[in-house]
Structure 1
Amino acid sequence: MNRLTKYLLRETHHQTIERQKEIDKLQSAIKYLWINVSIYILITIIEYWLSIIGNSQALKADALNNLSGVISTGVLIFGLWEATNVNDDDIIGKQLPTKSVRSKDTLQLSRFRLETVFTLVTSFIILLISLQIIITGIIGLFHLEDKSSPNLMSALGAGIATVMMFGEFYINRHYGKKIGNASLMAASKDSLGDVVTSLGTTITVLISFFLNLAWLDGAVSVLIGGFILWQGLQIFQESTLNLADYVDPKLESQLKAEVEQFKKVHKVVDLRSRYNGNLLIVDIFIMVDPKATAMEIYHTNEKIERKLHKDFDVFDVTVTIIPDPDDLKK
């Protein structure tokens, strides 16, 4: 078996292993996201019921916030399921040809992007719910004559939600770090925000009850809506940048500097990077000595790929060779 064949087999084996690792991560994330959905549903029911009994607009806003968590997490689970459904013969209902130029492994990279697509969809859901909370809260502030202060049942509901949401935050953060999954880490940020809003709701209801400030409950519900709106915009921005093939310029500068350290590389002409889901793909154009042998270039390519994978967790590196014109003149 010649060296080229060994190289191609090794590359295929490496990428297959990395793809399967990513699939395993996403499938693990789905299990933990189902826990999220269960907790969100329970909290939503408790808070909404006690908001009616306790007469609290802020608690009702927090319940709708958690309802947005149920919807957005459910949508994300569907997206992750589609992304990991390797044996399916279609993508989102679009039938795949029986004979395709692209292999199943290459098609899987496209499926990984579905995680980002459905995360973007969840941002729209969050934005719509936040606007509804803000509008309802503002309307309530103009009708304070018919509104009384919330009672302690509302504080109980918000307190229960705070404790449960903290548990969800811990699960998402712990296992998100453990398996290195962006969806769970994003969910942990969302959960932490929910802890803050539920704790804020608890404090608001108690102050409103003891000081008889009916307007405070409505004002805080508007603030909660604003906080949810900000979260939705953050998720929208991150997902959109990912789909637009945006990669942190600092990271790209580090990648370029790393490649230029190799003796055989005269200059990095261009570097293009993008994400497929959580996987970083890099295309590099380098100048080398035009008199370098194919074997020398081959070894340089291998070293670049191994280095970027080890130091930056780059999934795939494509190196394009350009002969240095200055050396051609010599």
Structure 2
Amino acid sequence: MELYTNLRAGEKGAWLSIIAYLFLSSIKLTIGYFGDSEALKADGLNNTTDIIASIAVLIGLRISQRPPDLNHPYGHLRAETIASMIASFIMMMVGLQVLLSSVMNLWNPVRQSPSTLTAVVAIGSAFVMYAVYRYNLSLAKKINSSAVKAAAYDNRSDALVSIGTAIGIFGAIIGYPIIDTLTALVIGIIIIKTAIEIFWESVQTLTDSFDIEDTETLSVLIENVDGVIDLVDFKGRTHGNVHFIDVTVTVNPYLNVWESHQITEKIDSTVKRFNPFCTVLVHIEPHEIPTAVEEDYHF
């Protein structure tokens, strides 16, 4: 129940991003056009694709809330990861478009300098997107959502892009119009870089990659659980905001079922103290005991 409550809470971050991008993109494209700023128009175009990306995240969060069924025994949690990947594709397309437009403008430079209003809009946009970034990052950590975290990183990238846009515009105003176009070029590169980072993280999740440091830490914690003799196998994978942990441990072969079950409960509570967003499956195996000491383990 708590899982689906967290997913619903994640929708707030997606909606906040959508509203912010709708507002900012309309202002940037309008002011950028009338204020003769290629950088601000590129930034506004970036925000329009962010709307689509945020909608994809919202849809992914909605699908993730569907309960398990016969075809999806683990639920639909990876839908938000797929949504993050779709968002990265959209960002990549826009980044390439901005790069192409910037290169064309370098070959055919515009001599007219942008207005001061375009710089003011860029600075104001940076403050707005940074505030959205802080909110979504805090929300992502609270509910452990990869999709909301991807949205937060996109928000941060947009804030940095807007700062760069303002710098480029000011440079153009003081007599170097080409700086505006060069800034648009840098914006395209930043958009592509962010898209690649989000895509790579999504691929890692969908291919069942698991953090090495978490694996090492959890392995040590499990090995130190009272009753565990040896940790034979450890596997971890991520579905949305839930980590599925599969472990195989050996215990005293002469324990009864209840005593073995108590060990699995201890392992489960130990893992969840480290990360509450974990579902743990423990397989118990009898530990091989040398014949010479076998009698010492009888109860």
TM-score by length of 2: 0.91
Q: Secondary structure of 1:110's partner? A: coil
Q: Answer yes or no: is 1:161 the counterpart of 2:107.
A: no
For residues 164-183 of structure 1, the aligned pairs below 5 Å read 164-183=128-147
Deviates more, 1:314-323 or 1:252-261: 314-323
Question: Of 185, 193, 196, which aligns to 1:222?
Answer: 185
State the identity %.
25
Q: Answer yes or no: is 1:115 the counterpart of 2:115.
A: no
- Alignment partner, residue 11 of structure 1: none
Question: Of 109, 122, 128, which aligns to 2:93?
Answer: 128
Q: Answer yes or no: is 1:295 the counterpart of 2:258.
A: yes
Contact 2:84 / 2:150 at 8 angstroms: preserved in 1?
Answer: no
Q: CA shift at 1:248, angstroms?
A: 0.6
User: Residue 327 and residue 277 in structure 1: after superposition, are their counterparts in 2 closer, same or farther (change >3 A)?
Assistant: farther
Q: CA shift at 1:71, angstroms?
A: 0.8
Alpha-carbon distance in structure 2 between the residues aligned to 1:272 and 1:286: 12
Contact 1:123 / 1:233 at 8 angstroms: preserved in 2?
Answer: yes
Residue type of the alignment partner of 2:58:
I
Alpha-carbon distance in structure 1 between the residues aligned to 2:14 and 2:28: 21
Contact 1:267 / 1:287 at 8 angstroms: preserved in 2?
Answer: yes
Residue type of the alignment partner of 2:136:
N
Please list the CA deviations of residues 270-315 of structure 1 after superposition, one character each: whole Å capped at 9, or x if unmatched.
1011111110111111122222222221111111111111222253
Contact 1:130 / 1:226 at 8 angstroms: preserved in 2?
Answer: yes
- Alignment partner, residue 244 of structure 1: 207
Q: Answer yes or no: is 1:35 the counterpart of 2:16.
A: yes
Alpha-carbon distance in structure 1 between the residues aligned to 2:183 and 2:189: 10
Q: CA shift at 1:166, angstroms?
A: 2.6
- Alignment partner, residue 49 of structure 1: 30
Aligned residues: 293
Contact 2:145 / 2:240 at 8 angstroms: preserved in 1?
Answer: no
Q: CA shift at 1:139, angstroms?
A: 1.4
Alpha-carbon distance in structure 1 between the residues aligned to 2:100 and 2:248: 52
- Alignment partner, residue 204 of structure 1: 168
User: Residue 288 and residue 178 in structure 1: after superposition, are their counterparts in 2 closer, same or farther (change >3 A)?
Assistant: closer
Deviates more, 1:297-306 or 1:283-292: 283-292
Contact 2:171 / 2:177 at 8 angstroms: preserved in 1?
Answer: no
Q: Answer yes or no: is 1:75 the counterpart of 2:56.
A: yes
Alpha-carbon distance in structure 2 between the residues aligned to 1:74 and 1:264: 49
Alpha-carbon distance in structure 2 between the residues aligned to 1:177 and 1:308: 18
Contact 1:53 / 1:154 at 8 angstroms: preserved in 2?
Answer: no
Alpha-carbon distance in structure 2 between the residues aligned to 1:328 and 1:112: 48
Q: Secondary structure of 2:236's partner? A: strand
Question: Of 197, 222, 247, which aligns to 1:234?
Answer: 197
Alpha-carbon distance in structure 1 between the residues aligned to 2:166 and 2:7: 35
- Alignment partner, residue 8 of structure 1: none
Tell me, which stretches of 5 or more residues in structure 2 are unaligned? 295-299
Residue type of the alignment partner of 1:167:
A
- Alignment partner, residue 23 of structure 1: 4
Question: Of 207, 232, 236, which aligns to 1:269?
Answer: 232
Alpha-carbon distance in structure 1 between the residues aligned to 2:93 and 2:289: 58
Q: CA shift at 1:319, angstroms?
A: 1.2
Q: CA shift at 1:263, angstroms?
A: 3.8
Alpha-carbon distance in structure 2 between the residues aligned to 1:257 and 1:151: 61
Q: CA shift at 1:236, angstroms?
A: 0.5
Q: Answer yes or no: is 1:279 the counterpart of 2:279.
A: no
Q: Secondary structure of 1:245's partner? A: coil
